[in-house]
Homo-oligomer: A and B are copies of this chain.
Amino acid sequence: MSEQPWLPTLITSTPQEGYELAIKLSRMGVKSTQPNVELLKKMRPDYAENADSLTKASQVIAINFQTVAAANNYWK
């Protein structure tokens, strides 16, 4: 993961871009634990078709969005 730059800054132009960055951060957290992309694809139905798993995924995004929003002073 450290090989390729993927997180040059937490600053984004808009809240929506900030939310997308929060999604990216959440996915990198998964990839840092399981870098095998093929395996991740195989697991996808396990969570993408399970209501509680989707809620959990939304929660991780929410936590990362707190960080991105604070970094951008809430785009005020």
Contacts and interface: CB of A to CB of B under 8 A. Distances in A.
Interface in A1-24: 1-2, 5-11, 14-17, 19-20, 23
The majority secondary structure among interface residues of chain A is helix
Instruction: Indicate the size class of the contact surface on chain A.
Output: 35 or more
A39 to B, nearest CB: 7
Interface in A48-76: 48-67, 69-71, 74-76
Instruction: Indicate how many identical chains form the complex.
Output: 6
A52 B56 contact: yes
Interface of A: 1-2, 5-11, 14-17, 19-20, 23, 25-30, 32-34, 39-40, 43-44, 46-67, 69-71, 74-76
Given A30-B58, A59-B59, A60-B62, 16 more contacts: A10-B15, A10-B69, A23-B29, A23-B32, A25-B62, A29-B57, A30-B57, A34-B48, A43-B51, A55-B57, A58-B60, A59-B60, A62-B64, A63-B63, A70-B74, A71-B76
